[in-house]
Structures are given as structure tokens and as C-alpha cells.
Chains A and B, each alone.
Chain A
């Protein structure tokens, strides 16, 4: 064995590569792998009965099988569309309200206490009413999701608007910017870091809300699919569905919000 190889090997064994800058971002893989391994061992040796918990390898097999099934994918898409519609609906109402609340003190004093009051209520407590009004379907789910998404978007945008320095408004005025370009070229970018964190929070909230509603009211989606699988005893399918949701939620979070946030990090 050459000296270089020996050096490389000892470096690996002492874990210095892992602590190196290049790999440090992936350290989280270790506890995750340990967790999965523990799961596999515990179930493989029946420390937890298979009827309560499938083995990890079994879940993986079912997972890769399921994601080739169009009906399974359609359910995930359905849930995702509900989440997205809820956010878009909430955003289109919350953005103008929050902007006016953030810039006009009187409006803020009129509206924000009421928003806080409703925000303090557990969102899902409205669900039975929504089901009564709209029936147990996608509309109730979307309305519920938009209610849940409203609060983080409203408060972050309002905060962002309040934080815009007065001087920047003076700059837009000096160069005779019209109302529309003041909003699109000054206000929107100025509040965007706040707005992005609000949207991200709303996205996280809405996945929980949508899954909960699908389980509770049997709206077609991945939530009701999990419920169905577990109640009929096919736990591995349920776990595979959870794994699928996690994958979709994380990938979209990274792709969409990750991109937005890395843009904001460049200058903020």
C-alpha cells in the first residue's frame, strides 16, 4: 500500500473527511441512517410486532412499487394542489391587507387586533362548520388551508412593510416612480425576505392541515389513503405514503423556497 493510500485511509478512519468543509453539510445523513438501521433491526427481530410496525426494508419496497402507480401519484398530486391552492388564495388576500396594515397605522389598528383574535383560535376548530357549508370535499379543504396559511403570510408581510425605511419611499418619490412600480420595484423586493419565510411557514402548516382534513373527512388525497391503508392493516403502504409525502414536501421546499431564499441571501 502506497503512503498516499495509507494516509487517505487513516484520514477516512479518523473521520476527518467527514468534518471537512465539503462534507459537513451532509452530517445529518449519519443519524438518519442510524435511525433507519435501528428501525430495521427492531422490527426484523420482532422487538415490535410486525402488526404494529413494518420493517424499513419492506416500506422501501412498497414505496418504490407505489410511486410507479398512477393512482397513488394522483392522490399525492391532489393533496399538493389543495396545499398550493390554499396558499395562493391566502396570499392573494393577505398580501394587500398586510401591506396596507403595515403602511397605514389607522388601518393596522382597525384590522390587526381582529386578525390576532382569529389567529389565536385553533384553525381546525372551524372545520366542522366548513364541512357543513361546503360539504366534505376539496373546497372545504382548500378554504381551511387558506385560513391556516393566512396568518403567517399576513404577519410576516405586515412586519416586512413596517421595516421598509422611510428613505426608500423618498427615493421612489424623487425619481417619480408611479404607484405600480413603487409596489413592484420597491415594496415587493423590500418585503420579500419576510414574505418568503411567511410562505414557507404557510406551506408547512398547510401540509399538516390538508393531511388532517383528508384523514378526518375522507377527502380524496394522500391523507385518506394513509388512513385507509392503516385501518385495513397494510401498514407498509401507509408508511410508504408518509415517505412519499415527506419526499414531495422536502423536494418542493428545497427547490422553490430554497431558490427564493438563496436569492434573498445574496443581498440581504
Chain B
């Protein structure tokens, strides 16, 4: 590991995948670095491939080309120091709260008593002491995500990846949970990466916001956020950054729409040309495909 290497480095990540017999170009040459202890939020138009990018960072998916380097070494598959928090919590419904938190340590063959102890500590951190023996179905969405957070932290990761971690939770609870995650970040100095479509959320939490373009996604722009923490969503500089990113995203979205429209117009034009050249049959089949 070189001294200048960032904690996590994305080197021209490109991803194609097959969807319904068509090849989709999801990510195109995505590169950026993440420093140790940094909180990075990735935003972009919906369906742009930001979750795919996070999955690649987690080692759950392989890039078609390019690589992720973690502490200087290329990443092949999930890494014990990289943990993840999921959008729909990803809890095992047949396990109690405590057993869910224990899961990661269990997979690492940590003795039962030891892992119980660690898990209880982390349940306390997320404010779920006393709920150890409940099943996920007995918990609210916010509490379920607290279990998810405890499960991700108990394995003592250096990088915590979060995939839309607050989007399946009601607004007020999500707000509280965000504050708690920000506090955990400040205290543990772990690296956090959050994929989200919620711009305010990104600015509230991030040291820098990576804006992706629409598919195939490239890094459109990286916004450093140097506001004082805890952040005030009504503060003028907060609103200023919000406006800038929103503007960029809107522009991106409009470009996409225009691109789609242009493609539509071109196709219509093609149809028109064919009909003039007297090949209605061919035109029809073109239309069907």
C-alpha cells in the first residue's frame, strides 16, 4: 500500500450486463478515490447504476473492466473489512434480533459467548438493548434498520456500504437514524459510502457527494461538502449546495429525455423514409422491433 493511495480507489469501473437479451451498459469508466474515514454519498438519476456500483464495491458483483482497490490491493469478492447495510434491511426473519446481529461473527467462527457479548454491545450502540429476543416481524422499519446497522458494525469493518439505507423508513425515523449514523461515523472514523436518491440526505451526511450521470453512468461531478456538523438543512450554504447539485441532476435528466426524444424522432424519420422508398413490409417489421 503506497502512502498516497486512498483507502478505497475505483479505477475506471465499467459494467455491462445482460438484461432480456439486450446488453445494458450500466457504468462507464467510473473512477474516484475515497479517503479513510470519509463519508461519501453517491447520487444520480434513478436507474443510473449507482446500486450496481455499490455492489461492485462490496464485491457482490464484478466489473466488466476496471478494478476496485482497497488499501491498495485489488478486490476480488467480499472483503472482511467491508460491511454493508441494505435497503430492505436483509434480516433473517427466523432469527431473533440478537441472532441476526451475531450472524457475521458466526460466519467467522467466533465462539458463541464471545459473539453474544459483542452483539449485545452493538445492540446497545443502536439503542436496541432489551429487544434481543424479538423477531424482525415484531419490529418497526426503523428498528429493523437499527438491527441491520448493528449487524454491519459488529464485524468491525473499516468500510460501511449503505444501499438506500434510509429510503424504506418513515421520514421522522429516518431523520433520527441519519443523525445516529452521522454520530457513529464521527466516533468510529470508519469510511462510509451511501448510495441514495435523496439529495438532502446526501448533503447532510457527506464529506463529498459524487454525482453520477444517467446510464451509462460516469462521474459527472464531485462536490466536496465542507459544512459544519451537525448540519442544518435550512442553512443557506446547505441550500446553496443543494441547488447546485439539483441543477446538475435536472440538466442530466433533461439531456436524457432529449436524447430519448431524438432517438424517437430518428426512428420515425427512418419509418417515414422507408414508406416513401416503397418498402412498407420492412417498415412494419422495423416498427415491431
Contact = CB atoms under 8 A, between A and B. Distances in A.
Co-complex (A, B) = yes
A168 B90 contact: yes
A192 B94 contact: yes
Interface in B93-110: 93-95, 103-104, 106-108
A186 B93 CA distance: 10
B135 A173 contact: no
B210 to A, nearest CB: 22
Given A167-B88, A181-B107, A189-B92, A174 B60 contact: yes
Contacts of A189: 92, 94
Interface in B46-104: 55, 58-60, 77-78, 80, 82-84, 86-88, 90, 92-95, 103-104
A105 interface: no
Given A189-B94, A266-B135, A173 B86 contact: no
Contact of B58 (A174, A177, A268): A174
B186 interface: no
A181 B107 CA distance: 8
Nearest to A168: B90
A20 interface: no
Contact of A170 (B80, B82, B90, B93): B90
A165 B88 contact: yes
A176 B135 contact: no
B169 to A, nearest CB: 15
Interface string B124-148: 0000000000011100000000000
Interface in A159-185: 165, 167-168, 170-171, 173-177, 181, 185
Interface string B197-210: 00000000000000
A175 B95 CA distance: 16
B136 A174 contact: no
B153 interface: no
Interface residues of A, number: 20
B107 A176 contact: yes
B281 to A, nearest CB: 33
B94 A267 contact: yes
B155 interface: yes
Nearest to B80: A176
Nearest to B87: A167
Contacts of B92: 168, 171, 186, 189-190
A95 B148 CA distance: 30
Contacts of B104: 174-175
A134 B73 CA distance: 62
- SS class, residues of chain A in contact with chain B: helix
Contacts of B78: 173-176
Contacts of A174: 58, 60, 78, 82-84, 104
B253 to A, nearest CB: 27
Contacts of B58: 170, 174
B136 A267 contact: yes
B276 to A, nearest CB: 44
B84 to A, nearest CB: 5
B135 A175 contact: no
A20 B151 CA distance: 44
Contact of B60 (A168, A173, A264): A173
A170 B84 CA distance: 9
Nearest to A182: B107
Nearest to B82: A174
Given A174-B78, A176-B80, A267-B136, A167 B107 contact: no
Contacts of B136: 267
A181 to B, nearest CB: 7
A176 B58 CA distance: 11
Interface in B150-175: 155
Interface in A241-268: 264, 266-268
Nearest to B137: A267
Contacts of A264: 94
9 contacts: A167-B86, A173-B59, A173-B77, A174-B82, A174-B84, A189-B92, A189-B94, A267-B136, A268-B94
Interface of B: 55, 58-60, 77-78, 80, 82-84, 86-88, 90, 92-95, 103-104, 106-108, 135-137, 155
10 interchain residue pairs of minimum CB distance: A175-B104, A167-B90, A189-B94, A267-B135, A171-B90, A175-B107, A267-B94, A174-B84, A267-B93, A177-B107
Given A175-B108, A181-B107, A189-B94, 13 more contacts: A167-B86, A168-B92, A170-B86, A171-B92, A173-B59, A175-B78, A175-B155, A176-B78, A176-B108, A189-B92, A264-B94, A267-B93, A267-B95
